[in-house]
Amino acid sequence: MRVKIELNDIASFTKEEAVDRIKTLLGKSADVTVHPESDETMDVLRFALIQLVGYNQLCILNDSPYEYDAKIRLLKKEILAKVESELDSVLLANECKFNE
Protein backbone atom coordinates (compact mmCIF):
# COMPACT_ATOMS: atom_id res chain seq x y z
CA MET A 1 0.00 0.00 0.00
CA ARG A 2 1.31 3.45 -0.86
CA VAL A 3 0.50 6.29 1.54
CA LYS A 4 1.11 9.93 0.64
CA ILE A 5 1.69 12.39 3.48
CA GLU A 6 2.17 16.15 3.09
CA LEU A 7 3.24 18.53 5.81
CA ASN A 8 4.83 21.93 6.29
CA ASP A 9 8.15 21.70 8.12
CA ILE A 10 8.72 24.83 10.18
CA ALA A 11 11.71 23.51 12.13
CA SER A 12 14.31 22.57 9.50
CA PHE A 13 16.97 24.95 8.21
CA THR A 14 17.72 23.04 4.98
CA LYS A 15 15.86 20.63 2.74
CA GLU A 16 18.42 17.94 3.65
CA GLU A 17 17.55 18.38 7.31
CA ALA A 18 13.84 18.13 6.50
CA VAL A 19 14.43 14.88 4.60
CA ASP A 20 16.49 13.45 7.47
CA ARG A 21 13.80 14.38 10.02
CA ILE A 22 11.04 12.68 8.06
CA LYS A 23 13.12 9.59 7.32
CA THR A 24 13.92 9.33 11.02
CA LEU A 25 10.19 9.41 11.79
CA LEU A 26 8.95 7.23 8.94
CA GLY A 27 11.92 5.03 8.12
CA LYS A 28 14.66 4.94 5.50
CA SER A 29 12.28 3.63 2.83
CA ALA A 30 10.17 6.79 2.94
CA ASP A 31 10.29 8.71 -0.35
CA VAL A 32 10.71 12.32 0.73
CA THR A 33 10.80 15.35 -1.56
CA VAL A 34 10.93 18.95 -0.40
CA HIS A 35 9.30 21.81 -2.28
CA PRO A 36 8.24 25.40 -1.71
CA GLU A 37 4.94 25.78 0.13
CA SER A 38 3.29 26.76 -3.17
CA ASP A 39 4.14 27.68 -6.74
CA GLU A 40 3.63 31.36 -5.97
CA THR A 41 6.67 33.39 -6.99
CA MET A 42 7.51 34.66 -3.49
CA ASP A 43 7.19 31.16 -1.98
CA VAL A 44 9.61 29.82 -4.59
CA LEU A 45 11.99 32.72 -3.98
CA ARG A 46 11.79 32.23 -0.20
CA PHE A 47 12.50 28.50 -0.62
CA ALA A 48 15.57 29.30 -2.74
CA LEU A 49 16.83 31.82 -0.18
CA ILE A 50 16.36 29.30 2.62
CA GLN A 51 18.55 26.87 0.66
CA LEU A 52 21.21 29.54 0.11
CA VAL A 53 21.24 30.70 3.73
CA GLY A 54 20.32 27.73 5.93
CA TYR A 55 23.47 25.66 6.27
CA ASN A 56 25.82 28.67 6.16
CA GLN A 57 23.90 30.49 8.87
CA LEU A 58 23.99 27.42 11.11
CA CYS A 59 27.74 27.09 10.59
CA ILE A 60 28.28 30.72 11.51
CA LEU A 61 26.12 30.37 14.61
CA ASN A 62 27.93 27.21 15.73
CA ASP A 63 31.49 28.12 14.72
CA SER A 64 31.59 31.87 15.34
CA PRO A 65 28.85 32.92 17.76
CA TYR A 66 30.78 36.02 18.87
CA GLU A 67 31.29 37.13 15.28
CA TYR A 68 27.74 36.25 14.21
CA ASP A 69 26.55 39.76 13.31
CA ALA A 70 29.59 40.59 11.18
CA LYS A 71 29.62 37.22 9.43
CA ILE A 72 25.87 37.37 8.74
CA ARG A 73 26.32 40.78 7.13
CA LEU A 74 29.00 39.23 4.91
CA LEU A 75 26.77 36.25 4.10
CA LYS A 76 23.94 38.62 3.16
CA LYS A 77 26.26 40.51 0.81
CA GLU A 78 27.40 37.26 -0.82
CA ILE A 79 23.83 36.04 -1.31
CA LEU A 80 22.63 39.41 -2.61
CA ALA A 81 25.50 39.35 -5.12
CA LYS A 82 24.35 35.92 -6.34
CA VAL A 83 20.75 37.09 -6.57
CA GLU A 84 21.78 40.26 -8.39
CA SER A 85 23.86 38.24 -10.86
CA GLU A 86 20.94 35.92 -11.56
CA LEU A 87 18.59 38.88 -11.94
CA ASP A 88 21.00 40.50 -14.40
CA SER A 89 21.04 37.24 -16.37
CA VAL A 90 17.23 37.13 -16.48
CA LEU A 91 17.00 40.77 -17.55
CA LEU A 92 19.55 40.22 -20.31
CA ALA A 93 17.73 37.13 -21.55
CA ASN A 94 14.47 39.09 -21.63
CA GLU A 95 16.14 41.92 -23.58
CA CYS A 96 17.37 39.37 -26.11
CA LYS A 97 13.80 38.11 -26.51
CA PHE A 98 12.58 41.66 -27.16
CA ASN A 99 15.04 41.97 -30.04
CA GLU A 100 14.08 38.71 -31.75
Whether 49 and 93 share a structural domain: yes
**Residue 52 near residue 82 (C-beta atoms within 8 A):** yes
Whether 64 and 47 share a structural domain: yes
> Distance from first CA to last CA of the chain, Å, rounded?
52
d(CA 80, CA 34): 24
**Residue 16 near residue 58 (C-beta atoms within 8 A):** no
How many domains would you assign to the chain?
2
pLDDT in tens, 11-60: 898 899 999 999 999 999 889 999 999 999 999 999 999 999 989 999 99
Whether 41 and 79 share a structural domain: yes
Whether 16 and 47 share a structural domain: no
Average pLDDT of the residues in 5-10 = 87
pTM score, whole prediction? 0.79
Closest to 30 measured CA to CA, from 39, 21, 38: 21
Whether 1 and 14 share a structural domain: yes
Whether 71 and 91 share a structural domain: yes
pLDDT in tens, 78-99: 999 999 999 999 999 999 998 8
Closest to 33 measured CA to CA, from 57, 9, 2, 1: 9
Whether 46 and 91 share a structural domain: yes
Range of the domain at 47: 37-98
